[in-house]
Structure 1
Amino acid sequence: MRYEKQRQKKKRKWKVVLLLLFLSIAGLLGYSYLQYQQGLSKSLEKAESNSILQKEYEFNGKKDRYGGINILLLGSDSRGEEKARTDTIMIARYHPEEGTYKLISIMRDSFVDIPGYQKNRINTAFARGGPELLRETIKESFDIDIQYYAIIDFEGFVQLIDEAFPNGVEVDVEKKMSRNIGVTLEPGLQRLDGEHLLGYVRFRYDAVGDFGRVERQQKVVKEIGSQLTSIQTIPKLPKLIGVVTPFINTNMDTGDMLYIGKDFLAKENRKIASLRIPVDGAWTDTRVNGADVLEIDLEKNRTAIHEFLAN
């Protein structure tokens, strides 16, 4: 009789535990959904004017041969042009089993074969055939498989930075910058809001031109990744995704973004390795039809990419 009472008491206890667990999960999901909707409503109106964000693109990407998840990141400040070029071309790579994060920046003036068209700067592939033609161009030139794409409007970058870092992102600005970036930046260590940080990563009017801009873009990505450790970002993740979603055209669903973002923020060691293409010693400056381009050594750059991804 006593044994029977103890067993019933244990059953009731487990029922209470399961009920509390269920309520906690339901509460967490409800909170996450609310946060996501808040972020979404905050950005929807501002993103409606950009036709690139509303357009549906074909993308026939495949998984990386090394087991990683490759995402073609494209930065755009288009305001409805019929054939907009992309200002930034990056491949972000996450390897779930190894827990590694890598970033490849491809210089937009790299002179390569564009499938179905003549040789041209690589960023014209997007203007002619969207992210799919750019994916095919990268595959043909460098033999990289890319599973996802994400076109990010620069206004979305500003909104995301201001939401995630209300006090700004700490950056050491190496020189005075103002030409064609909409803001003026003074040299020195400082905290930049979204608008000024965007100006910093877009500046290219100095002796090193686009090479300096790519270096700053990679520097900022790493800084953002590093500084995320100093704030309680995981609870804010649903809202951050809601804020940036209207400014992104992507074939990734919200679950994919949450999965990758949660893993990145939850790890203690989240270093981001980076590579610039073309690599040093594998390109030459040249002019084609009056335009400055980078004539690149495909074999050297292809080898550098595969060594970078495999190691």
Structure 2
Amino acid sequence: MSTPDTQRPADLPLSRAGVDRAAQHRLDEPWLAAAWSHPNTRVLPISGGEAFVVDTANGSELVLLPSFEAPEEGDRYFLGIDEDGTSYFAVAAETLPGRLDGDARPAGLREVGGNLSDRDAGLLVHAVALEHWHRLHSFCSRCGHPTEKAGAGHLRRCTSCAAEHYPRTDPAVIMLITDEQDRCLLGRQAIWPEGRWSTLAGFVEPGESLEQAVAREVLEEAGVRVGEVGYVASQPWPFPASLMLGFVGRVAPGGAGITVDGEELAEARWFSREDLRAGWESGEIVPPTGISIARHLMELWYGDTLPSTARW
């Protein structure tokens, strides 16, 4: 299956970036020290996945501090360099700094990810993902001894056996499946608000290809057999540590019958464009909005933007 001509991966809110990660500097301690002390360097304080933002007429902006105003306590991560040569770091602290002047407020990616500039979206996604990984990997999985941060925040090294541990990303597939009538398959989880429907998704298992994961997840959750599959785009999803890989697919001949598993999904249905439009207009169906790649996949199939009736 060919990828839809209308895809625009760069538009995915959490796939944007405006900073070169400059990984070649992560082990260069003298360079990192000089970059930290440079007057143009900017630092992003984060805590629990949140940072300070300021809302403007054009969206939201991260509050970035000069290094001499950054929190002294907390893990320091090097995030990269922009085209003007400005270096960016994050400091993961127990709490965000005290109240800042102006209208700054704490916010997370789910709330403001789609309102940030390319640079700010990339910085916050990077910092949040590193913060979560460090919080959960204080001990060596090989010998059980404590690990310590190294590589400017991009690895942890065991204090006993010297094993090096790098941040891990969990691949997950998210897919919009269509049948022979060009209807799309959407599902509902029982814990979701009434009326919310979205594309199916699931984690890739060990030893499994992405295409196999698409077919298996759809079969397990909805009882639908998938034939041809095509890749669309990917998006980081640091909630807590996933990479969402978006696909479109066609049902296999005779495989459109739905039988939900009752665990992952409470309900699944085939929707025509007319079904969804009527549901949106009546308020009975809530489409995915905000930063989810599900919205992008549905818009590719629908052929137009979805109504913004709810925030995920």
Q: What TM-score does the superposition give when structure 2 sets the normalisation length? A: 0.22
Pair member with larger Rg: 1
Of structures 1 and 2, the one with the larger relative CO (CA 8 A, separation 6+) is 1
Structure with the bigger percentage of helix: 1
Structure with the bigger percentage of strand: 2
